[in-house]
Amino acid sequence: MNKFSFAKIFVLFFLLLTAFPKEAHAEDFGYNIYNLGRESEQNIGTILDFVAGSCKSNIVRFWGFNGTLGVNGAEAISRVLSAGAGKGIKFIVSLEDYTHGLISQNPTTWYTSDYKNSYKPYVQDVVNQFKGRVFMWELVNEPVCENTPQCKEAMKNFMADMSTTIKNIDSVALISPGMKARGEGGDDIGGYYDQITALPNISANSCHYYSAGGETCQQARGVVKSMGKYFYVGEAGIEVPGCTTGACTNACSVDQLQGRVATINSDIASIGADAYLIWQFGIQQNGLLSCDPFTVFDNDPLCGGTGGPGLPQTPGGNQPQPTPVRCRDEVRGLASPGWWNIAEWNGSLPSYVKDVFGDLQSKYARVGIDWAQVEPSQGNFQYNRPQAPIDTIVNTYLSNGITPIAVFTAAPSWQDPSDANCQDPNKNVYCDIIHEDSFRNAVRNIISHFSGIKYWEFWNEPEQYQNNLRDPNEYQKWLNIFYDEAKAVNPSIKVAAGSDSANWFSPIAQTAKYDALVVHPYTGNSHEGPLDRGEVQQAASIIKSGATVWITEWGYNADEISESTQAEQLKQDISWLNSQSYVEFATFHLLVDEGSTRYGLMKSDFLTAGINGTRRLAYDVFKDLFACGY
């Protein structure tokens, strides 16, 4: 990516009304699968693959209760999150139920004090266990209260205490009270619904409706969105028009089921929620996921239509499932903080990087070795200045078993003092390399100093900058010198020719000295599209015999696409890269948003929060070592 380029700020969304409700105006669309956590992990994975694929869903809500309704919450949450890793699904975990739990027996007492006996310790435990992996913690399913001021105030205080408790442990997840917005005790719009939504650590609230009540949800949305918080329809139970089969939808006709699709599309558009979750998704003949007049089955038009493959009733059914394939470590590299903006490396950042690389099990990191920073004046080599702590960066990786892939780049201004543009750090230029002797000396000094680095890329995207390396023939001259000097210091290192595209490098592909060719296969004007496989294949077709291809930047601009699209593209592209034997390395760009760019698996709050910073959905895809079977 061009060093001085900036990502676009505005995102263009195309909202289409189709048979899949996600395309109507809700960013997140999904299902309640309330007893999902009581299934085996294998069945959970099968269910989630179907829901995410055929049903076009990216969010699921399930029970994480502590014993209520027979749910073992900690085990249920663990199974669902393990099976759901890398599938691009957000999870809402509901932590208790009002009607079937202890709350309804004596609401005032429970909200005042009894919740501290078992509920609060349980919540603290599971949030500690699963922080960073849950999209939203829902305090109670459908909380209400006795119709007294004392009970309503106690309920609000309970919500304040528990939302603060969770926020102090998991600063990333949304926190919702889980309300219905139906006007019962303490659940009244214009009253305690508003007051609870306004609590400082409540970041979301909901409504529930069954075949009627969409207007109330519109009112609730107005309250929540006016406070800048996330609004979701937590349960939308839509009966099938004209179907008189009683308590279950599994015998309704396709035409009748299609009528429900139209109702859901209309409701999504009129309510305008951030997320819309249908009650409920079911599997036929499965007792745990029971049927009611609102259930969506696998043969429903909402999930691929009649005649589609459907969801197998048991593992090994007739629907093809992805075969798990372990991704090669070499295609799971990352460009992390310090690949370029090295001044960020201070304070706790080295420990943050260690933690997150460990969590992702990533073993390769792209690192910028900025010649201009290392040798600010001729002959004066400084490897750990406060504004350029390159030794700290490299040693952080090496000491934690992470292999650096270094890019040698950026000539210092003293190389070309006559060029006014070269002296201006705000211009999109690099200085020319002019003095061969000093260049050779710099290469020898830097390669010798970083004796632990075995992989070197010469220059970042040379064709993108206004200097003499923009000319392929001039680039070849300096690449060959770099290759000779580097190999003289350490014959075992590998040197890659840096480029943005194979077309630019093609004229010198058979005459230049290199062990590998670098390409950056972005697509789209703003890098919003999937990996350009044709670019990678072209690189493989022009390289010399014995050379390989390195992809030191690939990724997607999250300003231009949704998180779910970013995650899905990552899943497909890393699987393809893994299968290309000539691709020796691939480093995803970026681990963390940098400056104004939004390419990261994590947002920029990583720089202050470390591994507890905000993760995009693509983080879990990248973390899945077996994501390469797609």
Residue 20 belongs to a domain:
no
448-464 tens-digit pLDDT: 999 999 999 999 999 98
Three-state SS for 562-629 is CHHHHHHHHHHHHHHHHHCCCEEEEEEECCECCCCCCCCCECCCHHHHHHHCCECHHHHHHHCCCECC
Residue 338 belongs to a domain:
yes
How far is 626 from 321, CA to CA, in rounded Å?
A: 13
Whether 177 and 260 map to the same domain: the answer is yes
Residue 356 has what pLDDT?
93
401-420 tens-digit pLDDT: 999 999 999 899 999 888 87
Q: Where do we find the tokens 């079911």?
A: 282
Q: CB–CB of 242/260 below 8 Å?
A: no
- Name the token pair of 176: 């919702």
Residue 19 belongs to a domain:
no
- Name the token pair of 20: 């899949």
Does residue 620 have a pLDDT over 70?
yes
225-262 tens-digit pLDDT: 999 899 999 999 888 887 765 556 766 777 788 888 88
Whether 466 and 548 map to the same domain: the answer is yes
Residue 310 belongs to a domain:
no
498-516 tens-digit pLDDT: 998 999 999 999 999 999 9
How far is 205 from 198, CA to CA, in rounded Å?
A: 10
Residue 4 belongs to a domain:
no
How far is 89 from 464, CA to CA, in rounded Å?
A: 37
Helical axes 349-360 vs 390-399, angle rounded to 10°: 30
pLDDT band at 349 (very low <50, low <70, confident <90, very high): confident
Q: Mean pLDDT, to the nearest integer, of 516-538? A: 89
Does residue 296 have a pLDDT over 70?
yes
Lowest model confidence (mean pLDDT) among 344-358, 372-386, 557-571: 344-358
Q: CB–CB of 534/493 below 8 Å?
A: no
How far is 430 from 423, CA to CA, in rounded Å?
A: 9
Q: Where do we find the tokens 């939308």?
A: 236
Whether 249 and 352 map to the same domain: the answer is no
What is the average pLDDT value for the chain, to the nearest integer? 85
Cα-based distances in Å from 62 to 116, 202, 286: 23, 20, 16
Residue 9 has what pLDDT?
28
Strands 333-335 and 364-370: parallel
Residue 506 belongs to a domain:
yes
Residue 134 has what pLDDT?
92
13-22 tens-digit pLDDT: 222 233 334 3
Residue 425 has what pLDDT?
66
Residue 139 has what pLDDT?
98
Q: What angle do CA 92, 129, 156 make, to 5 degrees?
A: 55
Q: Mean pLDDT, to the nearest integer, of 190-217? A: 91
Q: CB–CB of 312/319 below 8 Å?
A: yes
Q: How many structural domains comprise the chain?
A: 2
**Cis peptide leading into residue 48 (ω within 30°):** no
Residue 297 has what pLDDT?
79
Does residue 309 have a pLDDT over 70?
no
Positions of E strands within 48-104: 59-63, 90-94
Does residue 212 have a pLDDT over 90?
no
Length of the chain: 630
Whether 296 and 411 map to the same domain: the answer is no
Residue 347 has what pLDDT?
73
Q: Mean pLDDT, to the nearest integer, of 374-394? A: 91
Does residue 579 have a pLDDT over 70?
yes
Q: Which of 286, 303, 320 is the last residue of a domain?
A: 303
Q: CB–CB of 480/516 below 8 Å?
A: no
Q: Mean pLDDT, to the nearest integer, of 92-118? A: 96
Whether 176 and 63 map to the same domain: the answer is yes
- Residue 246 CA neighbour count, 13 Å, CB half: 3
Phi/psi at 597 (nearest 5 deg)? -85, 150
Whether 286 and 148 map to the same domain: the answer is yes
Closest CA to 294 of 304, 302, 286: 302
- Boundaries of domain holding 48: 28-303
Domain with residue 366: its CATH number is: 3.20.20.80
Residue 534 belongs to a domain:
yes
Tally Cβ neighbours within 10 Å of residue 463.
Answer: 17
Q: CB–CB of 207/216 below 8 Å?
A: yes
Alpha helices per DSSP H over 170-274? 192-197, 214-226, 254-271
- Name the token pair of 514: 């290199």
Three-state SS for 473-541 is HHHHHHHHHHHHHHHHHCCCCEEEECCCCHHHHHHHCCCCCCCEEECCCCCCCCCCCCCCHHHHHHHHH
Whether 600 and 501 map to the same domain: the answer is yes
Phi/psi at 628 (nearest 5 deg)? -100, 30
Percent of the chain with pLDDT over 70: 87
Q: CB–CB of 53/586 below 8 Å?
A: no
How far is 291 from 250, CA to CA, in rounded Å?
A: 8
Does residue 93 have a pLDDT over 80?
yes
Whether 268 and 338 map to the same domain: the answer is no
Residue 15 has what pLDDT?
27
How far is 414 from 28, CA to CA, in rounded Å?
A: 53
Alpha helices per DSSP H over 308-374? 349-360, 371-374
Report how many helices (DSSP H) and strands (DSSP E) the chain contains, helices first. 19, 16
Residue 450 belongs to a domain:
yes
Does residue 216 have a pLDDT over 50?
yes
How far is 29 from 51, CA to CA, in rounded Å?
A: 10
Does residue 326 have a pLDDT over 70?
yes
Residue 630 has what pLDDT?
53
Whether 292 and 337 map to the same domain: the answer is no
Element (H, E) at 438: helix 436-449
Q: Mean pLDDT, to the nearest integer, of 575-588? A: 91
464-478 tens-digit pLDDT: 888 899 999 999 999
Does residue 341 have a pLDDT over 90?
no
Between 219 and 12, the higher pLDDT residue:
219
Percent of the chain with pLDDT over 90: 55
Whether 287 and 381 map to the same domain: the answer is no
Residue 248 has what pLDDT?
67
Residue 603 has what pLDDT?
92
pLDDT band at 439 (very low <50, low <70, confident <90, very high): very high
Q: Which of 287, 303, 319 is the last residue of a domain?
A: 303
How far is 77 from 86, CA to CA, in rounded Å?
A: 16
Secondary-structure percent of the chain, ordered helix, strand, coil, rounded to 5:
40, 15, 45
pLDDT band at 306 (very low <50, low <70, confident <90, very high): very low
Tell me the sheet residues that pair with 367: 406
Whether 539 and 438 map to the same domain: the answer is yes
Three-state SS for 267-307 is HHHHHCCCEEEEECECCCCCCCCCCCCCCECCCCHHHCCCC
Whether 287 and 398 map to the same domain: the answer is no
Q: CB–CB of 107/146 below 8 Å?
A: yes
Q: CB–CB of 3/460 below 8 Å?
A: yes
